[in-house]
Amino acid sequence: MRIDILTVVPELLESPLGHSIVGRAIKKGLVEIHVHNLRKYGIGPRANVDDYCYGGDAGMVMMVEPVDRMIGELRDEREYDEVIYLSPDGERLTQSISNELSLKENLILLCGHYKGIDHRIREHLVTREISVGDYVVSGGEIPAALLADSIVRLIPGALTDETSALSDSFQDGLLSPPVYTRPADYKGWKVPEVLLSGNPKLIREWQDEQALERTRLLRPEMLGKSSE
């Protein structure tokens, strides 16, 4: 898989993409992540990538030309399955979307900044818009890192134990059950006996019950969706 991220602040992506699971997946050759500075195609001697809004609204808007030229350069080299714009009014990111995108070959993630991007980019260049939640952050870099992480960890070989992702929250429409590790008794805080029983059937039944109960208590709306 290859992920190309377009941004005006590439420094914001260095640490999230260079460590932990994503960093190890890159080192293993499981994924290529390339961060591109849109100022490469900035306009004028100062390499401007933004300008004032038509209509007089406050805030600066990312211009269409630098984005178009950068995407065009990348598309000349390969085909892309999706050009994704990280936007607060895009479709809400879910585990199923991450699952779907993890099966793609080439993705472009476009990070907005300032007031946003010229709407013509969304009309003519972007194929999909994704939101990481109903709130606004300073730019699309952190959402892009979040989306990339959620995708890369699903690539076979990215996790040390590939079955781990299968028991994550949302993977089967429920929150995950509680997890514990050693010691079995700390300050009188004990691990449930069933997890120490060595009986896989009983353990699985307990985990299923806990997942359902936690979802019912914490995210009851998920149960409605899973039954639709």
CA dist., res. 106 & res. 103, Å (int): 10
pLDDT tens track for 15-61: 999 999 999 999 999 999 999 999 999 999 999 999 999 998 888 99
- Encoded tokens for 23: 């960093």
3-state secondary structure of 77: helix
Buried b (16+ CB within 10 A) or exposed e, 18-35: eeeebeebbeeeebebeb
pLDDT at 213 over 70: yes
How many other CB atoms are there within 10 angstroms of residue 113's CB atom?
20
The pLDDT assigned to 11 comes to 96
pLDDT tens track for 121-149: 999 999 999 999 999 899 999 999 999 99
- pLDDT > 70 in the chain, percent: 93
Q: According to the 3-state scheme, what is the secondary structure of 85-111?
A: EEEEEEEECCHHHHHHHCCCCEEEEEE
pLDDT at 192 over 90: yes
Q: Which domains does the chain possess?
A: 2-152 (3.40.1280.10), 169-226 (1.10.1270.20)
3-state secondary structure of 74: helix
The pLDDT assigned to 228 comes to 44
Q: Quote the mean pLDDT of the chain.
A: 92
Q: Omega into 200 within 30° of 0, i.e. cis?
A: no
CA dist., res. 12 & res. 114, Å (int): 15
CB 117 within 8 A of CB 61: yes
The pLDDT assigned to 180 comes to 95
